[in-house]
Amino acid sequence: MVRQGKIITAAGVSAGIDMALTLAALEAGEDMAKTIQLLIEYDPHPPFDSGSRAKAAPSTVEKARKILAALFAPGK
């Protein structure tokens, strides 16, 4: 992933995920980007180290649980 000013580019699947998480952090905050990383179980180091429950902060795990509960609530 390359960031130059307001331009961010990436090539390849992992770099694309890194870029998407970076964009999520810019738009919704680093905490949300870490939660997304945990939800998709993306566990390399860049850009955050939050891709498994063992590594994620307890607050990130709880936020992910709430998102999943809302997505899979009866009637959805």
Q: How far apart are CA 17 and CA 46, in angstroms?
A: 10
**For the whole model, what pTM was predicted?**
0.69
17 pLDDT above the threshold of 90: yes
Looking at residue 49, its pLDDT comes to: 85
Is residue 42 included in any domain, yes or no?
A: yes
Is residue 76 included in any domain, yes or no?
A: no
Looking at residue 75, its pLDDT comes to: 81
Is residue 18 included in any domain, yes or no?
A: yes
| pLDDT tens digits, one per residue of 20-75 | 999 999 999 999 999 999 999 998 766 788 888 999 999 999 999 999 999 999 88
Sign of the C-alpha dihedral, residues 51, 53, 59, 63?
positive
Is residue 16 included in any domain, yes or no?
A: yes
Looking at residue 46, its pLDDT comes to: 61
Structural domains in the chain (count)? 1
